Chain A
């Protein structure tokens, strides 16, 4: 699939290493991804795969003193964000890039009214007056499906349900009409029924505003219904990426298939065990040489443990595997 327009955001070989007493921890280790206007890129992976760090690296929302080294480029609407001065990034944050976080119970300030938290971003960035900000805030709450917005503006976060709060944080993220929305597990902390409402809302807002969205999640089920493109991350690297439908129907990387098999199915027999991926993700301080998934991979051969596979492929579907699914099994190797 070819992109209709230039990407809003393009990362190239993005790298974020944290400082630890044992040495640098390679949380994000050379990731290249992009997203076009009006499209949704899903980033999936287990906890600790680096997906959240990747998202925060884009807008410099990481504790500066924890970082050992960074690298690569982040090009956002022609502006280079990687290594940009804090003032430049701060001006982009909230104004041109909105963010939604995982847990709406903790991401709103408990002692400030919803209205204040919703309006002060636009008052700061756009310089609108109190009345105008108020009017826009009402419209935003309506747009995210909150009834009786006038009353809700005066409420404190604890007076709202979890789903309502997440709608409020989405409204806050959209306050300055950003061209890119970064959503970090926006449905993980919510009830299942609310989850699908929030995902539908995000989809609708994206289409209405022709906004690009990067949706980070560990849930393949979330990715399936709400993303156009998909990147699977493992141990700080992208192992497979492509149009979501292609990645699902013609899965090439064994890790992606393992993630797909780990989705609980409605037609499973009672008592049937869920598929799990044996072993633990590798240490990111001292990652294994070769393919990082090799120690857990059922298809791993000697070459996998020795040489790191490049991310390659055709027609926008790329994968980092020496013996991808669909190819013949590798020669059985003695372990």
Chain B
């Protein structure tokens, strides 16, 4: 586990740098956030008080140090809009984003893996060509267009599933799934397209390798050769890509959550930006960055599980 420690040490400066950048970014934006929040009618004294409360009157380094020290103790401050602590706001929104992420990933991988394997096995065949065209069409559509298309097809024309709104899981499982299906599908469709193409490419390369010919020479059935022998050594790009997506979706699928009115982390970020809620924005972005880095660490460690060679190279 020396590897894990080493990776963590490498990540510390990254986290520090990125957290400072996000902290500073919000501060250097033109305009006074306190004035923007309180509105033009507020008096100078009120603005000055708020500036002091959020630390805007202090030098940036000192304010950052203060903020970071508190963040280490799990305190990201309080929204000056609602008074709710950033941490509790995140805790409230996170399950929605995670559920959306899980549904989209499971759906994405469940379709992309068999399709990727099949199109690699029958590369340049009819299914492969058709899928290639369909994939590029899906990737080319921005998610809000794809989401709107799905809304037109399912709730509007076919009268199934709901257009927007969210039912909590504890309230009704069926209702929850109904409210999650279209957003998850909107996220999953382009992922299916990308994942299956990436897997196809790596798989075609693997199928040309000697060890696959050797497996064929053993007389094993085709499905065993494809899924037991060829899939694992072909899955590295796919795992990397899926890992990046998990990191991104954990911090909220901004466009899709907004489009379908899901109260996730992405929605929280959008509404805090609209409300000029500086503390909340900083907190959410910091959370996003940490999650992203942590997921990437997890993916790196997953390589060692998939490929025994990396384990021993690192140990040597």
Give A residues with C-beta under 8 Å from B: 59, 61, 90-95, 98-99, 101-103, 106-112, 120-121, 124-125, 156, 158-159, 169, 172-173, 175
Contacts and interface: CB of A to CB of B under 8 A. Distances in A.
Contacts of A99: 214, 217
B219 A108 contact: no
B220 A121 contact: yes
29 contacts: A93-B216, A94-B218, A94-B219, A95-B219, A99-B214, A101-B213, A102-B210, A107-B210, A107-B211, A107-B213, A107-B214, A108-B214, A109-B211, A109-B233, A110-B211, A110-B233, A110-B307, A110-B308, A110-B309, A111-B232, A111-B306, A111-B308, A124-B218, A124-B219, A124-B220, A124-B224, A156-B308, A158-B308, A158-B312
B139 interface: no
Nearest to B212: A109
Contacts of A61: 213, 216-217
Given A109-B233, A112-B229, A120 B218 contact: yes
B215 A109 contact: yes
B309 A92 contact: no
B309 A93 contact: no
Nearest to B305: A111
Given A107-B211, A125-B219, 20 more contacts: A61-B213, A90-B220, A91-B219, A93-B218, A94-B218, A94-B219, A95-B219, A99-B217, A101-B210, A107-B210, A108-B211, A109-B211, A109-B214, A110-B211, A110-B309, A111-B306, A111-B307, A112-B228, A121-B218, A121-B219
A159 B217 CA distance: 23
A93 B307 contact: no
B221 interface: yes
Interface string B11-51: 00000000000000000000000000000000000000000
Interface of B: 209-211, 213-221, 224, 228-229, 232-233, 306-309, 312
Contacts of B312: 158-159
Contact of B209 (A59, A102, A106, A169): A106
Contacts of A101: 210, 213-214, 217
Nearest to B215: A109
A125 B219 CA distance: 8
A262 B87 CA distance: 79
B20 to A, nearest CB: 40
A94 B220 contact: yes
Give the most central of B213, B218, B229: most A CB within 10 Å: B218
A179 B215 CA distance: 19
B128 to A, nearest CB: 13
Contacts of A111: 232-233, 306-309
Contact of A59 (B217, B229, B308): B217
A120 B220 contact: yes
Contacts of B220: 90, 94, 120-121, 124
A120 B229 CA distance: 11
A106 B219 contact: no
A138 B37 CA distance: 75
Nearest to A98: B217
Contacts of B209: 106
Nearest to A159: B312
A103 B232 CA distance: 21
Contacts of B211: 106-110
A169 B233 CA distance: 19
A154 to B, nearest CB: 11
A197 B218 CA distance: 24
Contact of A93 (B219, B224, B228, B232): B219
Nearest to A86: B222
A46 to B, nearest CB: 21
A28 to B, nearest CB: 18
Nearest to A106: B210
B282 to A, nearest CB: 43
A93 B217 contact: yes
B305 to A, nearest CB: 10
A103 B210 CA distance: 8
Contact of B217 (A94, A108, A124): A94
A156 B218 contact: no
A61 B215 CA distance: 11
A91 B221 CA distance: 9
Give the most central of B219, B228, B309, B312: most A CB within 10 Å: B219
Nearest to A125: B219
A103 B219 CA distance: 20
Contacts of B232: 111-112
A116 B217 CA distance: 15
A110 B218 CA distance: 16
Nearest to A103: B210
Nearest to A120: B220
Nearest to A59: B217
